[in-house]
Structure 1
């Protein structure tokens, strides 16, 4: 086994942790790991001596870094079911605890879905639940191993650690495998080696409250301690810093008795600086826990804010109405699955903020501490929920996991001022995992979870989405409303929402929108609406996501174009501005994500409802949200990824501009087409639309938009095709872009006369032979070897590795096409 090292920064002073207390000597163990996909015959196989190349070296381990997912690529591989089973990780730790008589801890920020931990051959801990944080104390096992001969000889003073993760299907676990997302396996969040004194804080709870007008803030600080040696006494020192870093209070207390949740300090802050999306002011609480064995140091953030869901009315924050403008997030990204780095998570949340959100639902499980910290600092209100999602209700083991995960989520994210709602479930009206679907039992357990949540945290609300027979139990309810996608048409949105609003005391609409195949556009996107039955509600029903059978619905019969989804979003957003009773909504979701339930989508195994692709590539819908939700001047001409438009010669075509500016002037081929004033009631594009007659061939379009004295511009070009096409007859591959060692290869479909088929939706499959590699299994429109055409074309990237390759593309009923990547077509 290769020698491994502890890397990443050692946190030498205060660490902001999101309430799972982490002390002053914490190391992220990211490098030096080996991984084996599959199972071992026993723990001895992970640690037994073996020379490379010998029979005993089998099975072969691969070198990986953490975070790491089993399913980084196979989750979106179009030809396989994603792997669900065991996998092993191993490393050797150099351990040097600076605290005499101190503790050695392994702190997992998340591992899926069942995990066992070994020090050498000793099993030191296990955990069930793929989304919460947990800790294993390995002190005694390390000391025992150090007494063996292997410690000083074969392992040269290092400690072998092996971890088994398992995401096998299990009906007695949450979430259900019927859920519309992957249940990933692996150590997919960061793993920390923590050195602690004999007494340390396991959790620090900071409750910050204020009155409606923010005149007086109350701070209540408590802690739960890790005291395995029963020292049972310590001295705590606490300092309070305001958002500018100024010390405004301190306290010292000697504790005699460390069991349970121990009160530390209650204090008041006069006229606190309030936390809000516009001013996310954060106070800092520094805590030192001192014993004879050393001092552990912690830092927690807190924010003072007052929120209220007005009965039969809107949402108020700090006494003023705030329309919640939200979206959703799954832990999922191209090339890594759920094993996202801090940098990737930060990029994602900054993109959401750039789009204009002030609210997010974290679906459908507890998410990374990094995300919650970013929500605090960026000013994003949070609904976070446990993964009781679909399938029904299991037995005692099932229910105990749900209770434990709810407790962990609340206690570990208790301090975050961004959190306003604890979610208890999602689509719990969806049967299938068990022979019996007992609504009364589900109601009973939902009530139990609701009571548990309020006991653990009386300051937040509870909520569920889509389980009408439990809607009276929780504080806030979201019904299923998918106007214009699964049922109905999007112009029914306000009417349906008002009807559902009247049924509950506190209404919040989470999950709306629809799928869009990135880079696909339409000249007549709303044509499908004439076939849809109206007046029967807009709820999603079991089977509606299927692409086959049932009544006409946009989700099955629509064109899945960006053009249609932009119209749907545009209508929803302009209506939300005229609903004074509305608490808010959350679009589902921000980013496309993988799911085992959608193998036949245009990008196989991908839910394509995001406003950005799985690799952060923005779709056109991103700019529709910006035009309603942001203040910094922006203007975006629809169709940046629409290279060819079509129609008759002399036919008028609509050009839309999404902008938050007061007015905009459009230029087509250098000629002004007039100035339009923005009016959010004027659908589509808030009145910023022009009917123009494109010239056959190339057209250049530019907009100049003005907001006060500020001016912004945008431009696009497109080719206008008037020739009519017949059925697809041939394909042609070309190199569209070449950058360093990577080439973008595009395929276009033509009829027998060589006319581009701009509405072709054939599935095509790319293959490669030679020295290069297809950059596929990304789950994006440009990163899947099997993909449905968008406007008769598709692209994929190839890394040449400095050599020669031949790429091919095939489609049913059309001759296969080839391209030598040195440029010679065959």
Structure 2
């Protein structure tokens, strides 16, 4: 099989609504390409049809077959060869191929690819908190293959399936199946397994039934970051002299599982602690070259993460290759997001492509079948059950997982649809206190002690350049982001039974509909900025928790403005002892664990340095004359106008105290029903309040719960609620 890269030499234009070009001339572009690289952070970014054309010169060989292979196109692609339709693909993230043998002619051929990024009924995703970048944003190839070849027509597979199984006695069994198109009785399939270039097993099998099983007595295991060792399978269709087709496929031998006590890899307890990641970058959108993908993995490697959640769709093949090599345990998923509105066939097709195309990657430990699918209207359970069943039919060696919307009842059938569940929780950011995460996690553990549990998303926004002397929730400051993650890192480290935790997000990413903190079109929850130039303070906090590479870091940056007579210098380090220098003099030495704080007298300009075991970080502190006053919290300011006579309730009281009164319990139920109707009129669902959420909410003030519901509770409803609470005696 020959692969010819077709990334260069394309002409491109955007179509208008009437199907005519809206550009005065064709652009010359190279792939990967997206037409949203500049407007992807704009609420009105272009979603429409882009047309790619090029001339392809082919000198056809007798008996050869030809395929066009596309790494991905968002979200619907129609491919034409010499004005004839070669095929249509629905779904914006997986590889697809079309057999164009009969459509190509010797000499010049016209290739036209129409890519439509508009929302389409029955094709996922529909809505999500990230930008959908239109285009041919991965590589394109022309494949030339023999008539007898490894199959190229089955959901983008390579025509080979390798299933390694680690046995209880320490041996391994490796099943190899080759799917051959147009098999011949005079041909055979040679199969050889190698490790570090040395052959460890081999066999030849008939072309018509190409399956063989090898037993390895002392297998070398893929051990995650500790030792990501892999084998190679080399397969060739041959008559003993000529090779008609061949494949070289890397795979790893390992066993992964999750239960109520956490995650195990090859029988060893390994708490998975890491990050989630989208595939876009500043200036590139989704059209990112693999060299830049490698840079992203270098940053993930630096922080010391051992797991990666690839959100919320299939990523490119190179991403999985990098994860294999770095020993990261990967959660990868399909774009079944936010809510259900049909599209079962498409969701199942995208799941098949995800699993079949990535089956051999040892880094992948689970298949994700949904993310926050109860956030909007519709019943997702039947589809979730189909997806779970299909995943196990395609792959019996991995478990399934889904990420549940925070209010989802742990007792619901939806939360149990996959083998394992993780929750997206943002207590401490969108609402509540960071400590509420610990309360919820412990409550789940107490009431469901036999179930595995993870955190699929947690995080808060920190806008580069935004600072606060007294950080608080909702201020988008880097200081609040650091304080939030300090608490979360500690909460997680104290709960090793969490099978996996994934920070949302490793990198800032585009979300065109957003307008938060004075920044449009961005989700700024990343530990690293969108352009990858700034590592925010929490990056170094988690490096202190996860990495063994010695370092020190002074939080707040190299130049900081502070007010007052004294200031607190915060240092992150994975070393046991840090000395702070003020000027040239040692000021104080402290022993600690990850986070070190020093209170330093503040002059006009203070130069400080943190030193530990040969590592050094420096900063300049500038004193400013601004009076340092701690402001009121966001909820205090917003709800200050709602008061109560003495001895009566108001929204400033705790829910549990109100519900202890019969009138209070009835009032709360009435308000919930009214809120549900209000949301339904606007096409949204009020999630069922689970017993776990109710137990946690009983200790919250009502104003905090209202804040958690956001715009689902309008001001007039809040006013009526407070008036009714005023009627109830304490």
* TM-score (normalizing by structure 2): 0.80
Q: Which residue, 601, 605, 608 being the options, matches 1:693?
A: 601
Tell me the residue number matched to 1:87. 50
Aligned equivalents of 1:40 and 1:390: distance in 2?
28
Shift of 1:225: 3.6
Tell me the residue number matched to 1:494. 438
Tell me the residue number matched to 1:781. none
Any conservation in 2 of the 1:516–1:609 contact (CA below 8 Å)? yes
Tell me the residue number matched to 2:190. 237
SS where residue 142 of structure 1 aligns? coil
Any conservation in 2 of the 1:197–1:293 contact (CA below 8 Å)? no
Alignment coverage as a number of residue pairs: 611
SS where residue 46 of structure 2 aligns? coil
Q: After superposition, where does 1:427-826 map in structure 2 within 5 Å?
A: 427-432=372-377, 437=378, 439=379, 442-466=380-404, 468=408, 469=412, 470-501=414-445, 502-503=447-448, 505-525=451-471, 528=472, 554=473, 558-617=474-533, 618-640=535-557, 643-648=559-564, 651-679=565-593, 685=595, 688-696=596-604, 698-706=605-613, 711-723=614-626
Any conservation in 1 of the 2:236–2:243 contact (CA below 8 Å)? no
Tell me the residue number matched to 1:63. 28
For residues 337 and 601 of structure 1, do their structure 2 counterparts lie closer, same or farther at Cα, with a shift above 3 Å needed?
Answer: farther
Say which structure is richer in helix.
2
1:497-543: CA deviations, max 9, x gaps? 12234436121111001111112222222xx3xxxxxxxxxxxxxxx
Aligned equivalents of 2:619 and 2:383: distance in 1?
55
- Is 2:287 the partner of 1:339? yes
Shift of 1:290: 3.1
Any conservation in 2 of the 1:117–1:163 contact (CA below 8 Å)? yes
Shift of 1:159: 1.7
Tell me the residue number matched to 2:214. 267
Tell me the residue number matched to 1:778. none
1:8-55: CA deviations, max 9, x gaps? xxxxxxxxxxxxxxx4x212211111110125988xx99xxxxxxxxx
For residues 280 and 212 of structure 1, do their structure 2 counterparts lie closer, same or farther at Cα, with a shift above 3 Å needed?
Answer: farther
Aligned equivalents of 1:451 and 1:420: distance in 2?
17
Q: Which residue, 367, 370, 386 being the options, matches 1:425?
A: 370
Aligned equivalents of 1:264 and 1:283: distance in 2?
18
Tell me the residue number matched to 1:26. 3
Aligned equivalents of 2:389 and 2:142: distance in 1?
35
Aligned equivalents of 2:354 and 2:560: distance in 1?
49
Shift of 1:293: 9.1
Q: Which residue, 126, 132, 144 being the options, matches 1:195?
A: 144
Aligned equivalents of 2:258 and 2:507: distance in 1?
28
For residues 482 and 138 of structure 1, do their structure 2 counterparts lie closer, same or farther at Cα, with a shift above 3 Å needed?
Answer: same
Any conservation in 2 of the 1:67–1:341 contact (CA below 8 Å)? yes
- Is 2:265 the partner of 1:317? yes
Aligned equivalents of 2:48 and 2:168: distance in 1?
51
CA RMSD after TM alignment: 2.2
For residues 212 and 518 of structure 1, do their structure 2 counterparts lie closer, same or farther at Cα, with a shift above 3 Å needed?
Answer: farther
Q: Which residue, 158, 166, 181 being the options, matches 2:108?
A: 158
- Is 2:63 the partner of 1:101? yes
Shift of 1:674: 1.2
Shift of 1:271: 1.6
1:357-381: CA deviations, max 9, x gaps? 1111111111110100111011001
Any conservation in 2 of the 1:212–1:319 contact (CA below 8 Å)? no
Q: After superposition, where does 1:56-455 map in structure 2 within 5 Å?
A: 59-77=24-42, 81-96=44-59, 100-143=62-105, 146=106, 157-176=107-126, 178-201=127-150, 202=152, 203-211=159-167, 215-227=170-182, 234-242=187-195, 244-256=196-208, 263-276=210-223, 277-290=225-238, 295-310=244-259, 312-394=260-342, 398-432=343-377, 437=378, 439=379, 442-455=380-393
SS where residue 408 of structure 1 aligns? helix
Any conservation in 2 of the 1:101–1:293 contact (CA below 8 Å)? no
Shift of 1:665: 0.5
Tell me the residue number matched to 1:36. 13
Aligned equivalents of 1:296 and 1:607: distance in 2?
46
Aligned equivalents of 2:23 and 2:478: distance in 1?
50
Aligned equivalents of 2:27 and 2:628: distance in 1?
51
For residues 39 and 597 of structure 1, do their structure 2 counterparts lie closer, same or farther at Cα, with a shift above 3 Å needed?
Answer: closer
Any conservation in 2 of the 1:102–1:293 contact (CA below 8 Å)? no
